[in-house]
């Protein structure tokens, strides 16, 4: 028995030492300031305000070869504190990837890791702040959302990613218990390492393609996601996101469209359209324009956002400043806001 225990301990020690030899650590800190002058439909200004926000993230990554089949592996996780975060600090970029380099196939057991729909990285959002960031903290009910449909990418999931020649990557991502962004049920979509979590939230999948189609400077992305209908809920969550971005020299143009509905008693569909342009004045200075609209089936008005942004590279620190105007937020006439946002990002 003692011999067995000693052998097990040595094997574990050898694995740990091998992993540590290939481990990298990186991180990022963000400090934001937002000032909002808002006017609700009644003419009040109760949604106005200003303040600082901060986010810190540390990334641990490891990669190497498995001892079977010549397969590659990559593993890692991030520790993220978003403001004074009261939920898990470990649900960001957690993954174990197994890759067959010869076929270009990757099997990923991950959360918040692979190409995904549930992040406001719209093709039109070329740099700086996203439409959802510019439209929050004013009157409630913004129709510009970072997560169109079920949040498959932010659920613990299994995915197959396949290289399609030099055209891009095709991925199928499946979550046994999805993290749905509606208020029906809130769940992490994952239990401890020995137990599972499953509530009324059902399984969901996401099919995606991201690539340049063999055209230099072009980026095309397409996502479609659906969640299985929950018990006692008439409508199931689903979403679609398609975007195109093209860079030529110092100029980048982008457009994107999102259509989605959440689970609920009746189907309420939202359509969001984003248009973006950025111009690199020089290697350190970039300016950009962003315009977005949001329309929901049960509202009479179309929410509109127009913003201008300036990015400045300070070397180890990046600065972004954006000014935006929102009108008819949530499809409500007279619910408007003006805001200015500033962000400093330091990487290490």
**311 is in which domain, residue-wise?**
27-347
Its pTM stands at 0.84
What pLDDT, on a 0 to 100 scale, did the predictor assign at position 195? 55
Torsion of CA 343, 270, 247, 224, to 10 degrees: 110
Residue 22 lies in a domain: no
Task: Indicate the average pLDDT of the chain.
Answer: 84
Give the pLDDT confidence of 45-56 residue by residue, as tens digits: 567 888 999 999
**Across 16-25, 101-110, 167-176, 338-347, least confident range:** 16-25
Residue 14 lies in a domain: no
What pLDDT, on a 0 to 100 scale, did the predictor assign at position 120? 67
Number of structural domains in the chain? 1
What pLDDT, on a 0 to 100 scale, did the predictor assign at position 42? 65
Q: How confident is the model at residue 200 (pLDDT cuts 50, 70, 90)?
A: low
Residue 8 lies in a domain: no
What pLDDT, on a 0 to 100 scale, did the predictor assign at position 199? 62
8 Å CB contact between 317 and 126: no
What pLDDT, on a 0 to 100 scale, did the predictor assign at position 58? 94
pLDDT at residue 84 tops 80:
no
In this prediction, residues 232-236 reach a mean pLDDT of: 82
Residue 76 lies in a domain: yes
pLDDT at residue 44 tops 80:
no
The contacts of residue 194 (CB under 8 Å, 6+ apart) are: none
CATH number at residue 287: 2.40.160.10
Residue 4 lies in a domain: no
pLDDT at residue 173 tops 70:
yes
270 versus 179: which is more confidently predicted?
270
**Across 120-129, 192-201, 273-282, 299-308, least confident range:** 192-201
Residue 132 lies in a domain: yes
Give the C-alpha distances (Å, rounded to integers) separating 255 from 52, 117, 220, 271, 306.
30, 15, 10, 14, 14
In this prediction, residues 45-68 reach a mean pLDDT of: 88
Write out the DSSP string of 299-347: -SS-EEEEEEEEEEE-SSEEEEEEEEEEESGGG-TT-EEEEEEEEEEEE
In this prediction, residues 313-323 reach a mean pLDDT of: 94
In this prediction, residues 232-244 reach a mean pLDDT of: 88
Residue 196 lies in a domain: yes
Q: What is Dmax (Cα atoms) for the chain?
A: 78
Give the pLDDT confidence of 244-275 residue by residue, as tens digits: 999 999 999 999 999 998 887 888 899 999 99
Q: 85-94, 110-119, 233-242: which has the highest mean pLDDT?
A: 233-242
72 versus 90: which is more confidently predicted?
72
pLDDT at residue 186 tops 50:
no
Give the C-alpha distances (Å, rounded to integers) separating 112 from 58, 115, 188, 251.
14, 9, 12, 30
Q: Of the candidates 259, 301, 255, 261, which has an alpha carbon nearest to the alpha carbon of residue 275?
A: 255
In this prediction, residues 90-115 reach a mean pLDDT of: 91
Residue 284 lies in a domain: yes
What pLDDT, on a 0 to 100 scale, did the predictor assign at position 7? 39
């Amino acid at each position: 028995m003692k011999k067995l225990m000693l052998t097990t301990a040595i094997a574990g020690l050898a694995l740990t030492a091998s992993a540590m030899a290939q481990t990298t650590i990186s991180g990022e800190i963000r400090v934001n300031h937002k000032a909002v002058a808002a006017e609700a439909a009644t003419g009040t200004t109760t949604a106005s305000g200003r303040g600082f926000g901060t986010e810190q993230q540390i990334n641990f990554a490891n990669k190497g070869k498995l001892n079977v089949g010549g397969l590659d592996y990559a593993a890692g996780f991030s520790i993220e504190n978003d403001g004074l975060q009261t939920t898990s600090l470990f649900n960001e970029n957690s993954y174990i990837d197994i890759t067959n380099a010869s076929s270009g196939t990757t099997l990923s057991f991950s959360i918040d890791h692979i190409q995904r729909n549930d992040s406001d990285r719209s093709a039109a959002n070329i740099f700086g702040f996203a439409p959802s960031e510019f439209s929050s903290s004013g009157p409630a009910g913004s129709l510009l959302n970072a997560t169109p449909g079920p949040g498959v990418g932010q659920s613990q999931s299994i995915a197959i990613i396949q290289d399609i020649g030099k055209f891009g990557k095709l991925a199928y991502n499946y979550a046994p218990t999805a993290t749905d962004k509606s208020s029906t049920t809130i769940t992490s979509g994952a239990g401890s390492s020995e137990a599972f979590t499953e509530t009324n939230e059902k399984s969901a999948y996401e099919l995606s393609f991201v690539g340049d189609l063999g055209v230099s400077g072009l980026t095309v992305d397409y996502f479609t996601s659906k969640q299985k209908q929950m018990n006692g809920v008439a409508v199931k969550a689903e979403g679609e996101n398609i975007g195109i971005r093209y860079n030529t020299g110092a100029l980048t143009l982008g457009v994107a469209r999102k259509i989605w509905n959440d689970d609920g008693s009746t189907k309420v569909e939202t359509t969001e359209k984003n248009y973006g342009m950025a111009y690199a004045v020089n290697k350190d200075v970039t300016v950009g324009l962003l315009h977005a609209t949001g329309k929901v089936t049960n509202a009479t008005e179309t929410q509109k956002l127009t913003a201008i942004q300036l990015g400045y590279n300070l070397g180890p620190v990046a600065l972004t400043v954006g000014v935006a105007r929102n009108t008819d937020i949530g499809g409500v006439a007279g619910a408007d806001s003006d805001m200015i946002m500033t962000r400093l990002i330091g990487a290490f």
